[in-house]
Structure 1
Amino acid sequence: MVKKIPARFNRFAAAFDDAAAKAAGSWESSGSEHSAADLSDLVNSFLERESREERDSEELVDNGDQDKDEDDEIDFEYRDRLKDLLYRENDAVKGTIHAAVERAYREVDGSGSSSSGSSSPDFKRQLMARLRSRGFDAGLCKSRWEKSGRCLAGDYEYIDVIAGGTRYIVQVLLDGEFTIARPCGGYASLLEILPPVFVGKPEELKQVVRLMCTAVRKSMTIAGIHLPPWRRHDYIQNKWFGSYKRTTNEISSRKALNYGCGSSENQTLKEISFNRREDFVAKKSGVGIINQAAAVLKQKENGAVNMCATIVVH
């Protein structure tokens, strides 16, 4: 039975034959004894090149195996830890809040009243208002932080609920806060575990953030992508765990100047309109703006009307 000759031996034999032919020609033409040394150098160079190629090939295989091992680590170890963080505690209060948030989310999302999606301040404010209308002490929290080292400056808004002296953070579509380019398979499986509606104590969310940020770094390392500053741990944790201001106003202060407004859902809007700037500043031309606004407020106080007065200057 004829055995197959290794490819490396064939390449070596071909190189040797070629070198020998060149050396023979050199001997015949000049009779120089240096041609034998040239042949030896050529053979040694060939062997060294073959050795380098084999080492490079082995390194590529090792790196590929290492990447696969790291991906498997994200897939198995991190999945179990994340599930444990999200579902380990049997908190009846949290379950009640979660059910109310899911219902309010469906109502606000289905109404189509917020065109910019669930991440917009208007959407979160409406969601907060729905929870308050159901008796929950919900608030809209506004966090803001300055640039520090590699951490960029930023701001964020989220909802919290205070129940029995315990603060719960409400986050809709938490997976969107950890979306990255070219995620490895293990990391993509973590995103699928994150619930559409998260309700949890700050300590619980802090552990989830720490785990996901570690997984983000590993996934982007496997993909060979630079970690963007807005996906670093210090930037993401500032969203929920830095200093914040809490408001329970159902109408944003950025809206038009309103007087005596009640619920944003059940109010009649009355507009006091001035066609000329002179009317706005005049003190002697009949009833001025202050008197008109005061008249509206007095009517509201007396219970005659249920309205908001909005001042518009043309």
Structure 2
Amino acid sequence: MDRQNSDDIVRFLDGMASSDDVLFGFLDEGNQSPEDFPDSGNLNGGGDIDDVDDNSNCNPEENKAFWQEQEKLLQGTLYRTSSIETKIRQATKEALKEVKAKGLYCVCRRPVAGGCRSCLRGEISRHLRDVAGYDCVISKSKWRSSQDIPAGEHEYIEILDRSGSKKGEMRVVIELSFRAEFEIAKGGEEYKRLISRLPEVYVGKTERLRSLIKILCIAGKKFLRDKKMHMGPWRKHKYMQAKWLGTCDRSSSLEAAVVSETNEPENWVPLVKPRVSMLNYDGLSTGMGRSAAVTVV
């Protein structure tokens, strides 16, 4: 936990009062017609885009059409939101407002003034479970290294909803720093404009998340290839899917805090561990040595 992390959390909470629409980024129902956007349902299936060689040598008109299409697909995916997602999104807003009102206190073994990401997730999870009444947990995904991607792990909030008996159980993911996961330090104008459409806080079912990941990974892959920049394995479609759509361990916010405390050895020395995301690599460095800040302001 470093000072930068604390400052980011403070700025994030300070921006809550006036930026709900920007923070959550989902289009309110009724503002625009679904016909304004193409259907992105076909993005859910199909093969892995990491194995597909896109046409990076398209002419300016084709390039412009590509980015316009990706933007429409992104907006269409964000527009088609269900009633349960809208309710959970509103409850998440209320949880963040509560944290802002009372302040965030770090309960880690070595607390950080202003709070840390882990404690913020714990507080939001507690509110959604104890106040809003949702089956809410903190999930930690872990995956092994393979020929395509390195090993990694990622924590996020998850709600299991069973209110729609006909559809069975629905997983709703809450990612408090969603946009930061896809940012590229030296991203071009088209890519930055696409990323700016993303919510800072993602609250939505896994099917919607799957579509967003595919749209963004296709766009990121094209941008990097057009600029002849190396595509790190942590940017790949398979890697991004593993963060939220792979196997995970689930625990309550309290259990997560206890596990975090008891797992630290007596000779524990704080290390700044780089957060593996699309922001870690600027196309010039050869490693992942730069720690990414949470850009949730």
Same fold (TM over 0.5): yes
Segments of structure 2 that go 5 or more residues without pairing to the other structure are 1-55, 107-111, 164-168, 263-297
Equivalent-residue separation in structure 1 for 2:120 and 2:152 (angstroms) = 20
Structure with the higher helix share, 1 or 2: 1
State the partner residue of 2:147: 149
> Does the C-alpha gap of structure 1 residues 96 and 128 become closer, same or farther in structure 2, counting only changes over 3 Å?
same
- State the match for 1:113 in structure 2: 105
8 Å Cα contact 1:142-1:155 kept in structure 2 = yes
Deviation at 1:237, TM superposition (A): 0.6
Contact 1:168–1:199 at 8 Å: present in 2 too? yes
Gaps of 5+ in 1: 1-63, 258-314
- Aligned residue for 2:229, secondary structure, equals coil
1:1-314 to structure 2, matched below 5 A, reads 66=58, 68-69=60-61, 71-89=63-81, 91-108=82-99, 111-114=103-106, 115=112, 120-134=117-131, 135-163=133-161, 164=163, 165-251=169-255, 252-254=257-259
C-alpha contact 1:162 1:168 (8 A) present in aligned 2:
yes
Secondary structure of the equivalent of 1:151?
A: coil
- How far apart, in 2, do the equivalents of 1:245 and 1:254 lie? 12
* TM-score computed with the length of structure 2 as normaliser: 0.59
For residue 136 of structure 1, give the secondary structure of its aligned residue in structure 2: coil
Give the C-alpha shift of residue 65 in structure 1: 8.9
- Between 1:115-124 and 1:170-179, the stretch displaced more is 115-124
Higher relative contact order (CA 8 A, sep 6+): 2
CA shift in 2, pair 1:69/1:184, >3 Å: farther
Higher strand share: 1
Question: What SS is found at the alignment partner of 1:250?
Answer: helix
In structure 2, C-alpha distance between the alignment counterparts of 1:80 and 1:172, rounded to whole Å: 24
Letter aligned with residue 131 of structure 1: L
Distance 2:223 2:87 in 1: 35
- Structure 1 equivalent of residue 26 of structure 2: none
Aligned-partner Cα distance in 2 for 1:212–1:69 = 20
Question: Equivalents in 1 of 2:224, 2:144: separation in Å?
Answer: 26
Kept in 2: contact 1:71–1:186 (CA 8 A): no
Letter paired with 1:126: E
Is the 8 Å Cα contact of residues 140 and 153 (structure 2) preserved in structure 1?
yes
Partner AA of 1:137 in structure 2? D
- 1:73 is displaced (CA, Å) by 3.3
CA deviation string 1:49-93 (max 9, x = no partner): xxxxxxxxxxxxxxx99464465234311000001111123x211
118 and 99 in structure 1: CA distance in 2 versus 1, 3 angstrom threshold: farther
Partner SS for 1:96: helix
How far apart in 2 are the matches of 1:120 and 1:172? 9
Q: Please report the RMSD computed on the Cα atoms of aligned residues, expressed in angstroms.
A: 2.5
Q: Distance in 1 between matches of 2:114 and 2:232?
A: 24
Task: Work out whether residues 169 and 201 of structure 1, in 8 Å CA contact, stay in contact via their aligned partners in 2.
Answer: yes
- SS of the counterpart of 2:160? strand
Q: Percent identity between the aligned chains?
A: 28
Distance in 2 (CA, whole Å) between partners of 1:82 and 1:120 is 27
- Matches of 2:186 and 2:172, distance apart in 1: 32
CA separation of 1:224 and 1:118: change in aligned 2, threshold 3 A: farther
1:118 and 1:233 map into 2 onto residues whose CA distance is 31
Code of the aligned partner of 2:94: R
Do 2:141 and 2:247's aligned partners in 1 also have CA atoms closer than 8 Å?
yes
Q: Given the superposition, is the C-alpha separation of residues 119 and 152 from structure 1 closer, same or farther in structure 2, using an over 3 Å criterion? A: farther
CA contact (8 A) 2:144 2:150 kept: yes
Structure 1 contact 118–124 (Cα < 8 Å) conserved: no
Aligned-pair CA distance for 1:231: 0.8
Contact 1:146 1:154 in 2 (8 A): yes
Q: Is the 8 A contact 1:71 1:219 kept in 2?
A: no
Moved more, 149-158 or 109-118: 109-118
Alpha-carbon deviation of 1:122? 2.3
Whether the 8 Å CA contact 1:75–1:189 is kept in 2: the answer is no
